Amino acid sequence: IRTDIGDYDNPGFDDLTMSLAFLPDLKTESTEPSGLPNFYRHKPDTAAKAIPGYTPRDYLTHWLSQWVRDYGIDGFRVDTAKHVEQAAWLQLKTQASEALAEWKKANPDKALDNAPFWMTGEAWGHGVMQSDYYRHGFDAMLNFDYQDQAAKATSCLANMDLTWQQMAEKLQDFNVLSYLSSHDTSLFREGGSTAAELLLLAPGAVQDL
C-alpha cells in the first residue's frame, strides 16, 4: 500500500496513486506477487489463504468474487471508479460473472432470474457517453447530467422532452444510471410526485441515492 504512515511508500499525486480521503492506496497496478497482507498473516481465525503468484489486484478480485460465489450477489456498484486501473475492473467483472453463473447453477431454487452479473460505476462528471468504462466491465455509469436537467422540469414535464429524446437516441448500445438526489452533489427536495415521474420516466436505468 501507499500511505503517509511509517515506512510505507508515499501516495502519489495522480488519480491512480493518490491517497483518497486520507485512505491508503492499494497497489492494484503491481505485477509482483505480494502474499497476504500482514494483518491476515497474523490473524488466527482468518479464512484468507496465500495463493502462489497472486498480486494485490488478484487477491482483491478473488475475494470480491468469492462473495458472489458464496452468497449470490448479483451486482456491484463501484464508487470513484477512476481511482483504480480499468483493467482491474474488467478482471473483477470477469471473475464475478463466472462466480454468479456457478452460484445460480448450484442454487436454482434461490436464483431470481438468469440475468448475468451487473456492474455500475461512479466517475465524477460522467454523462450520457460511451466511455472506456463500458469496455472494461461496466454495464452502466452514473449520469451526473440528469439532476440539473430534471430540476428545470419540476413544474412541467414537457421541459424534459428534449433531454429524454437525446438520451433515448444515444442509449442504443449502452446504458447509464440516472439519479435525482445525491449526497455528493445536492439533495433534490422539490417536485414531489413530479420528481418521482422524472426519475421513473428517464431512459436507461435509474436509482434513488
Question: d(Cα 83, Cα 93) in Å, to the nearest integer?
Answer: 16
HSE of 140, CA atoms in CB hemisphere, 13 A: 21
H or E stretch at 165:
helix 161-170
Whether 122 sits among the annotated catalytic residues: the reply is yes
Whether 79 sits among the annotated catalytic residues: the reply is yes
Residue with cell 434461490: 110
Select which of 25, 58, 122, 139 is catalytic.
122
Q: What is the DSSP string of 46-109?
A: ------TT--HHHHHHHHHHHHHHHH---EEEESSGGGS-HHHHHHHHHHHHHHHHHHHHH-TT
Amino acid at 113: D
Among 99, 76, 95, which residue's Cα sits nearest to residue 87? Answer: 95
Select which of 79, 148, 190, 208 is catalytic.
79
Catalytic residues: 79, 122
